[in-house]
Amino acid sequence: MKRVFIYGMGLLIITSFCLSIVIAQPQKMILNNIKVFEKKERPPVLFPHELHMEGDLSCTDCHHKYENGKNILDEDELEEGNSKIKCSNCHADFGVIAINLRDAFHQQCMSCHRKKKKEGKKTGPILCGQCHPWK
């Protein structure tokens, strides 16, 4: 009886931990960095984070921190409110990084969507107006 209780408590703790990680993520995000995108040509993107979490992607397919060509990101860093995980933390348009924020978003999102489309899988938008719809 004691063993069943211990296993049950262990399962409850693990489930609670995993659930807290999933619940901590916002369902939809607005990709609109005012500092970087001062002169916007199109409206901001409403990014459905939950759709990407439900798919066959892992967190590190999108979130990354490269060193020597390898993604060394620790997924434990992916907590809501952690400013270090924001794309703009590394991809702000300061001329110091390899790719600016706008290009990073376009490259990351559109290349994945095009790849999935080529594989015949359900995918997201690839045209400007599909991500940046005028209201």
Q: Residue ranges per domain, the chain?
A: 2-131
In the structure encoding, which two tokens stand for residue 14, read together? 């693990």
Q: What is the pLDDT of residues 125-135, one digit of tens each?
A: 999 999 999 87
For residue 3, is pLDDT > 70? no
Q: Please determine, looking at this structure, whether the domain spanning 2-131 carries the CATH number 3.90.10.10.
A: yes
Q: How confident is the model at residue 5 (pLDDT cuts 50, 70, 90)?
A: low
For residue 12, is pLDDT > 70? no
pLDDT at res. 37: 75
Q: What is the pLDDT of residues 46-103, one digit of tens each?
A: 999 888 888 788 999 999 988 999 999 998 888 888 888 888 888 876 566 678 888 8
- Closest C-alpha among 46, 44, 43 to residue 26: 46
